[in-house]
Amino acid sequence: MIGPVTVLARDHITLLEVLRERGQKQQSMLHMDQHCDMRGLLVDPGRSGARWLYGAGHPDSGNILGHSVTEGWVDRVYWIHGADGGREEDLGTFLLPDEKDRAPFRWFGKDEGKDDEGWSNLNLDVAPFEDARPPERTDVWSLDWDYFAPFPSSEPRARRRVAGFLRLVGDSCPDLIFLCSSPGYASAHRQVLQEFLDELVRRQGGTLERRVEPWGGPEGAGLLGRTLTLARYLSQRPLVAAKKLLARIGPEEQGQ
């Protein structure tokens, strides 16, 4: 896979396949997503590095960017999320060095890493969209529809987020644009997504590659898909609330 290309996929895990196919190392990435997709990664800003904390595990939609970093495809990430997203709203996130001994994270396993081994290069900038500045020109755009249309989301809200993103990036456009629909996490608004995709392809001037039908499967845009998405959303809210509560309690109070 060479030359400018816009890839439309169903799940974010497809991004790793695309990066491997293109074979370009040490790329910079603009990651527009409600989630960091770096679950299990320990990020140390002081050393501009990252390593696996409790083991990589198989690639999935929650750790796909972690694998992209540790395999060397990406070494600079600008992660922008909505005010209703980010690490606080995510069950599986990357951790900073002073967080790994806090509950609930320390329950996941013992950190067997070494301070001088297993580190990959990573410069990470994180900001909610409201505070984001136009990023430097990046090599890859990693776009998750759950940022533009987080569940539940109205169509006008999705259109506002699409327009805001296009204003933020201006005329810049990388050779690789990746967009996934994230059924189960995002509201469909298929017409808005299609218009956004058309605009991305027009701006880039490359080819469009559809990996799979973006709303297929039981978690798609139909009634069953919306019902399953609602059930997932409602089940996660109390877990997120419990995680936030535990994060506010120091290790001493947690029984360290």
User: What is the per-residue pLDDT across 36-58, written as a single tens digit (0 to 9) for each?
Assistant: 999 989 999 999 999 998 767 88
pTM, full prediction: 0.92
Does 256 fall in a domain?
A: no
Q: Residue 123 falls within a domain, yes or no?
A: yes
Cα separations in angstroms, 134 against 79, 130, 172, 201: 12, 11, 10, 20
Number of domains in the chain: 1
Instruction: Look at residues 192, 207, 120, 125 and name the one whose alpha carbon lies nearest to residue 156.
Output: 192
Q: What whole-number percentage of the chain has pLDDT above 70?
A: 91
Cα distances from 32 to residues 27, 43, 132, 162, in angstroms, run: 16, 19, 11, 11
Question: Is 52 a member of any domain?
Answer: yes
CATH code for the domain in which residue 170 is found: 3.40.800
What average pLDDT does the segment 8-26 reach?
A: 96
Residue 240 in any domain: the answer is: yes
Dump pLDDT digits (tens) for 180-195.
999 999 999 999 999 9
Q: Which one is predicted more confidently, 200 or 217?
A: 200
Percent of the chain with pLDDT over 90: 65
Whether residue 253 is contained in a domain is answered as: no
Instruction: Count the Cβ atoms, other than its own, within 10 Å of residue 23.
Output: 9
> Domain for residue 255, yes or no?
no
In a domain, 112, yes or no: yes
Q: What confidence score (pLDDT) does residue 108 get?
A: 62
pLDDT at 134: 85
Could you read off the pLDDT of 67-95 as tens digits, one per residue? Answer: 999 999 999 999 999 999 999 888 888 98
Residue 10 has pLDDT above 90, yes or no: yes
> Within 13 Å, how many C-alpha atoms sit on residue 168's CB side?
21
Shortest CA distance to 27 belongs to which of 122, 93, 118?
122
What pLDDT shows up at residue 256? 47
> CB–CB of 215/184 below 8 Å?
no
Q: How many of the other CB atoms lie within 10 Å of CB of 223?
A: 8
Range of the domain at 235: 5-247
Contacts of residue 63, defined as CB under 8 A and 6 or more positions apart, other chains included, come to 37, 38, 39, 40, 41, 56, 57, 92
* In-domain check, residue 35: yes
